[in-house]
Amino acid sequence: GDLVMAEEAILKLPEDIQIIGNVEARGYDARYIKTYKDVLVARNRGLIDKVTIWKDKGKNRIVDVGVSQIWDVVVGSNTNYPSHCQNGTGSTAVTAGDTVLATPLTPRVAVNYKYRAGLSVKFDTFFDKNTENGTWAESGLFTALTGGIMYCRRLYASTFVKATTNTATVTWTWTLAPQ
């Protein structure tokens, strides 16, 4: 059972538990996908792949300051959860010590929808046709519109030229899983 001392509970987790981070980014033709609601309708109708003009999916790195922030939220020392996503044009390799994107596009965009599914949490962000236009090569998830803490970063496997003719989504997924 749980050991209780001085009103503190110790939760024993298997030693092989890890947080796996993944991100999926999609670009759309702005004539067909104008809003986040349009994305949800396309998903629900099984049409999301048909309306996607660019897709990048893969693992991301939860950086050291991001891991520290996760623990700070868990222990209640602050409540700075992931709230903003940002893309950039930089191609510098991702490292554990990263704290910002290499070459960010601005402004950061507020996460539209955050939710839990089983042992995973997801953070969806929609970029309208006028937001963060440029050549997307990297992405990050942050605690604030400016400054704040970067939780994680990913270099896209292929770049995406975001323009006023495109909209896009970036969905971050974190999963607790055995190694």
pLDDT digits (tens, 9 = 90+) for 109-119: 999 999 998 88
Q: pLDDT: is 103 or 15 the higher one?
A: 103
Contact 39, 51 (CB under 8 A): no
pTM of the model: 0.88
- Count CB-CB contacts under 10 A for residue 160: 20
pLDDT(61) > 70: yes
**Nearest CA-CA partner of 107 in 93, 88, 80:** 88
3-state DSSP assignment of residue 38? helix
Report which of residues 8 and 59 the model is more confident about: 59
Q: What is the pLDDT of residue 16?
A: 67
Say yes or no to pLDDT of 8 above 70. Answer: no
Residue in this structure with the two tokens 């893969």, named with its chain if needed: 58
**In what helix (H) or strand (E) does residue 48 lie, and over which residues does it extend?**
helix 48-51
